[in-house]
A and B are shown apart, each in its own frame.
Chain A
C-alpha cells in the first residue's frame, strides 16, 4: 500500500470481497487519512467510497470475482478518488439516478436502494465511463463540508 506523503497519493488494490472492502476502508480512514481532513469530510468520503465499492463487489463482480483498484489523492481542497474494476458495466452504461427510495408510513420499508442516493448526495464531480472491459468511477469530496 504505497503512500507518498508529499503528493498524498494512496493506491490500493483489493479483491472483490466485502471483508476486503472493510479492511481497505479501515486502513484508509483510520490510519492513512487520519488527520488529512476534518472528521466530517472523512465520514463523507468513507460513506461514498464504501457504497461505490459495495456496488462493485455486489453487481460488477456478481458473476465472477476480480480486483478493484482505488487511487486517492488528498489536497488541501479535499479528496479525489478514482476506482477501477474489470467487472460488468453499469446497467444502461451510465450512472443511476440515485433517487432516494420512498419511505411508506409503515410495513413495507425499503431495505436497499440507498447506495447511489448516498453517493450522489455526498460526492461532487461524480463521473463514470466504460473503457474496453473496465469501469472507471471517480468523484471528489470537498474538504469543506456543508450541512446535507
Chain B
C-alpha cells in the first residue's frame, strides 16, 4: 500500500497510490495511515482519486482512521471515483465525512508552497 504525503502548515494531504482499498489491503492501509497521521496535529485530507474500487473492509478501514484521528481532526476525503462514491452513498458514510469535490481545486494553491 503506497501512500504519499503532502504537508502544508494546516493540512496534511495523503495520496493513496493504489487502485483498490479492499479486504486484502485494509489492515495495511489502516496501519500506514495511523503511522502517517500520529506525528502531526492538523487536518487530514485523504486523496482517493486513484482508488477505483473500495469494499466494505476498505470502508471500515477509512472509518477506523477517522476514529483514530479523533473528533478534533475530522478526516476529509477528496477525489471519489464512481464506485467509491457509490459505496459511501449506500452506507450513508457520505453524510459522516466531509467530501471535497476534487483535490486539484483544493491543493493547487498549497502544493507549490511547500
Taking Cβ atoms with an 8 Å cutoff, the residues of A that contact B are 18-19, 21-22, 25, 39-40, 43-44, 46-47, 50-51, 54, 57-58, 100-101, 103, 106-107, 109-112, 114-115, 117-118, 121-122, 148
Contacts and interface: CB of A to CB of B under 8 A. Distances in A.
Contacts of A112: 56-57, 60
B24 A44 contact: no
Contacts of A148: 86, 89-90
Contact of A109 (B67, B82, B89): B67
B102 interface: no
B24 A103 contact: no
Interface of B: 20, 22-25, 53, 55-57, 59-61, 63-64, 66-67, 71, 82-83, 86-87, 89-93, 95-96
B86 A43 contact: yes
A-side interface mostly: helix
Given A54-B23, A103-B96, A46 B86 contact: no
A43 B63 CA distance: 21
A115 B91 contact: no
B22 A50 contact: yes
Nearest to B20: A22
A110 B86 contact: no
B82 to A, nearest CB: 6
A14 to B, nearest CB: 12
Nearest to B93: A103
A111 B90 contact: no
Nearest to A122: B90
A100 B92 contact: yes
B62 to A, nearest CB: 9
Contact of A54 (B57, B87, B90, B95): B57
A41 to B, nearest CB: 11
Contacts of B20: 22
21 contacts: A18-B22, A19-B24, A22-B20, A22-B22, A22-B23, A46-B53, A47-B87, A50-B22, A50-B23, A50-B55, A51-B56, A103-B95, A110-B60, A111-B60, A111-B63, A111-B67, A114-B59, A114-B91, A118-B90, A118-B91, A122-B90
A117 B57 CA distance: 13
